Structure 1
């Protein structure tokens, strides 16, 4: 699945609530992502969704093993039936703490490798790390950003008629159709957004681009949702808005 999406760390940062430095650490096996981030990461690839339960299970095992290995003293309680000391002349076996540590690292590596392949990252250069703070789900307050509406149809970019308007949805997890449209915007309109999600309904524009990212905006005193594919892509890519709360 490597290269399925063809995203660099910078591009991946624009689609997930995590910084490039955090994503790089996950891919190198230096730390573990939280479950919500792992799910959003996996949903960037259509072929990975069937494996999400397996990925989450691996993540849980890795997290538990890592926590046990980091217990005070670096040891874990002996269980009934634990192996007896080796007979004289035989090399000593690994202590439980060492085995548990290696289990944590192996499980963590498995999660990172599979998640990395799922995302299809093709550029993992050290220069991509920017040292900024992570944007893990639930760790940041709501933001405030101005985003600009983008219409893929060139003939509609200078017309403010209904036929050239773009729908703002009530629910980003429901099909993007007229029954879910509660507002409208036109090309170059500026909207105020406070957060984003990466796992909404996938929307495809007139040029064939598609995205499952959505931004929550305020318009006419109401909260609405605009698909990420309807926003200028440079603003989507470099957005620092936090992930929306549940």
Structure 2
């Protein structure tokens, strides 16, 4: 008995060849498991090669890579500027107030002679008031605590109406009585218009001005 025995569909390695469909993945009557795996990989590779990128995709990627970094928010400095402005305003106001109420220049006067008081000589004897005679002269003493009429206690002479400059007064000098009976222990340290210095008894003037008391060295 002659005849051919069919062996089924033949696999020649071409998935799209004429002769029927290829073997089923996973093995089977038409081929082994390795052949199915190779067929699957071939189909996946072919599908990957047929994928096309959308138009402009790579340009958009490049643009996104070169885009500037987002700006980082910086802390606001407004409060610091406000504080500095307020401080400057306060300083300006303080400077203006100081300029308005600032003290004027201080002038230091050099120490000069003590203040003086002008005294007018008075003679109790009316007959000598208009005459500059030696008999009408009044004595200036050297020492207000010594006897007024003592021989060596004479510093100079003055007459009725002479204007003298008094520097100071002692209140505990020798007691002197004038021709009208008036007494006083006050003595004035005076200087005449000719520069003669001496002590004038209080009874020889009618002073109405305040005269400072002499320091200890003049007593």
Where on the TM-score scale, by shorter chain, does this alignment land: which range? 0.3 to 0.5
User: With structure 1 as the length reference, what TM-score do the two structures score?
Assistant: 0.40
The structure richer in helix per residue is 1
With a CA cutoff of 8 Å and minimum separation of 6, indicate the structure with the bigger relative contact order. 1
Q: Which has the larger radius of gyration?
A: 2
